[in-house]
Structure 1
Amino acid sequence: MIELAAGNARLGLLPDLGGAIAHWTSGGTQLLHPVRDMNLLAQKGRRVAGYPLLPFSNRVADGRFHFEGEDYQLSPNFGGESHAIHGNGWEHAWELELLSDASATLVLSWHPPHGASMVEWPFAYYAQLRFDLREDSLSIGMLIENTDSRPQPVGMGFHPYFPRRSGLRLGFCADTVWTSDERNLPSLRVPATGDWSFEHMREVDGQAIDNCYAEWPGAAFLRWPNEGLALTVEAGEPFRHLVLFTPPDKPYIAVEPVSNMNDGLNHPGVVDRGVRVLAPGEKLEGHIRFVLTAC
């Protein structure tokens, strides 16, 4: 693990474990909650507080998708499911390219094996993660470049776990949300109203949500009122979807800025599905910022 420091803030990074965050603290207070998820097979039971989603976010149904006349089969990488989940960037060791007291840049080059019928991802790519820590904020820059000789469809995002303590409240706007079927795949797109709505900040209580919101303007707000802490999630293009995961029996929630809808590779008819087709040499880049304030 390497650790960045800025004033009282500390950020632990795990380049060898998928470029994951080990911890983010301010004055000893945990701002992210390290989680051991045995279903994420490549993490081998180690705790992580956040990790990158490349070259796609969330699930690909049964690991299969069709692109430009070809059928592709991805390796399952999530325990108990036949789907492929969250790409393969989190499954590999990243190289440390640049390091200073409060900043680190990690890189990954992926080359698929030749002749395999089932692969993690069938196209070559180069990815970069840049972490910039300040006493009151954390910025994450993400980049993916198509280094293959063919076009490829991509998406990206980041998966932070936030502590579910001290009367946690959440607020954000989004026009629509995808309901999920019994296999956790998108089913219907409905207005983000009623129980789906967080337009008015409210407590994250026993409601179990594991869904992707669309037409998200790029801001979400978390408050821990009993601790006087507030955190704002800011994201620009291409992050116009937000995945919310609120398991009622766990001490954390996930609020994930992502570019593509769940199973976006298999929904070419959805105009704003968020999957980008990169020509050889083309890049997709985005930035996410977490800002800490008192409330």
Structure 2
Amino acid sequence: MTLTNTPTAGIAAPTGQQFRITAESEPGGHAVSAVITELGGTVRSLTVDGEPLIEEFPELGLPKHCEGEILIPWPNRVRDGRWSHAGKDLQLAINEPERCNAIHGLVKYRPHQVVRRSATELTLHVRIYPSDGYPFALDVETTYSVSAQGLKVTHALTNKSDQPAPAAIGSHPYIRVGATPMQDVSLTVNAASYVVVDERLNPVGTSPVSGTPMDLAAGPKVGWLQLDTAFLDLTPAPDGMYRHILEAPNGDTVEVWGDANYQYAQVYTTTSYPSGGHRTAVAVEPMTALPNAFNSGEGLRWLEPGEEWLSSWGISHHFSQAHGTQVRGEK
């Protein structure tokens, strides 16, 4: 089975090599396939029987909307890119200049190396080297595996510094439920509180979701939502996992899940996807820390020298027998 896609002859993909992993269909089951990019370890594509579970970006394009990116060593924003450590003021690169923030960590800019791979599994490695804004060495080994149930992503972070290093993890998939128009899909996030932000989308406090449009427990339609919002005080499932559900009108569902590390989630909705377009899209982002965690400490993990931290999140599907008859509108 081919594990890498070859870009158009003579043209290099901007995100480097394209690694495909596939779980073949069994009788009565579904075939699941994912494409991971060398640059950033980004999940560029995820399909079941050819139907999308995430928004994809072109092989010869870039994830201009952070599609499928891995967010390490922090998700979301660090206000002004500034934080303090050991009595020193540190400055991260400002990569959201319109709001003067540092956003979504460091690994999305870095090429990853293959550690091992098989038809259904791929492990990539990248090292974050010390810099002015993040004076720590952090090894990031990420394993992507597909099965008939969907995609599982496991991160192993190891502090290679001689001092404790701060870390947090997030991911940025835009979810699809096959070809169902996303404005018709219901989204359920069981959270008691949300983060209140200023005009630059930086946290200024938290508030209960009860009685507000931020209450997603009843599964409102995505088309009704206007969110770029972090949620906390999530309710875990009986197995201790955190699960966020998207359901199409015909009963098909896609679930974004995280293990006990993922006690926070960000939801972003837009009605103009891609930029200037006219489609509805929703990013459901499992996170281990809140926005601006380098300053607030909320959810931030400090790894001792040599310490390894393991966490897993994923995307699973539950398609009904009526899957093939679902509404097809947005292309």
TM-score of the superposed pair, with normalisation by structure 2: 0.79
Match of 2:203 in 1: 186
**Post-superposition shift, 1:112?**
2.3
1:85 counterpart letter in structure 2: I
Match of 1:6 in 2: 23
**1:254 aligned residue (283, 289, 299):** 283
After TM superposition, list the pairs within 5 Å mapping 1:55-204 onto structure 2. 55-113=73-131, 118-119=132-133, 121-163=134-176, 165=181, 167-193=184-210, 194-204=212-222
**Post-superposition shift, 1:48?**
6.5
Instruction: Work out the CA distance in 2 between the residues paired with 1:90 and 1:184.
Output: 21
Distance 1:149 1:240, change over 3 A: same
Match of 1:39 in 2: none
Segments of structure 2 that go 5 or more residues without pairing to the other structure are: 1-17, 25-30, 237-241, 274-279, 321-331
**2:247 aligned residue (223, 227, 244):** 223
Q: Indicate if the aligned counterparts of 1:23 and 1:48 stay in contact, CA closer than 8 A.
A: no
Secondary structure at 1:187 match in 2: strand
Q: Indicate if the aligned counterparts of 1:170 and 1:220 stay in contact, CA closer than 8 A.
A: yes
Instruction: Work out the CA distance in 2 between the residues paired with 1:174 and 1:208.
Output: 17
Which is further off, 158-167 or 128-137? Answer: 158-167
**1:290 aligned residue (291, 315, 322):** 315
**1:277 aligned residue (302, 309, 314):** 302
Q: Indicate if the aligned counterparts of 2:80 and 2:94 stay in contact, CA closer than 8 A.
A: yes
Secondary structure at 2:244 match in 1: strand
Distance 1:9 1:44, change over 3 A: closer
Instruction: Work out the CA distance in 1 between the residues paired with 2:271 and 2:62.
Output: 24
**Post-superposition shift, 1:79?**
4.7
**1:53 aligned residue (71, 86, 102):** 71
Distance 1:80 1:44, change over 3 A: farther
Instruction: Work out the CA distance in 1 between the residues paired with 2:111 and 2:224.
Output: 36
**Post-superposition shift, 1:248?**
3.1
2:300 counterpart letter in structure 1: V
Instruction: Work out the CA distance in 1 between the residues paired with 2:203 and 2:309.
Output: 24
Q: Indicate if the aligned counterparts of 1:22 and 1:48 stay in contact, CA closer than 8 A.
A: no
**Post-superposition shift, 1:171?**
0.5
Distance 1:56 1:139, change over 3 A: same
Secondary structure at 1:90 match in 2: helix
What is the percentage of aligned positions where both structures have the same residue? 24
- Counting matched residue pairs gives 278
Instruction: Work out the CA distance in 1 between the residues paired with 2:97 and 2:82.
Output: 17
Segments of structure 1 that go 5 or more residues without pairing to the other structure are: 37-42
Q: Indicate if the aligned counterparts of 1:22 and 1:47 stay in contact, CA closer than 8 A.
A: no
Instruction: Work out the CA distance in 1 between the residues paired with 2:233 and 2:309.
Output: 19
Match of 1:237 in 2: 260
Q: Indicate if the aligned counterparts of 2:68 and 2:173 stay in contact, CA closer than 8 A.
A: yes
Q: Indicate if the aligned counterparts of 1:23 and 1:49 stay in contact, CA closer than 8 A.
A: no
Instruction: Work out the CA distance in 1 between the residues paired with 2:83 and 2:57.
Output: 30
Match of 2:48 in 1: 26
Distance 1:45 1:28, change over 3 A: closer
Secondary structure at 2:213 match in 1: helix
Instruction: Work out the CA distance in 1 between the residues paired with 2:140 and 2:155.
Output: 7
Residue 267 (structure 1) aligned with residue 300 (structure 2): no
TM-score of the superposed pair, with normalisation by structure 1: 0.88
Task: Compare CA radii of gyration and give the structure with the larger one.
Answer: 2
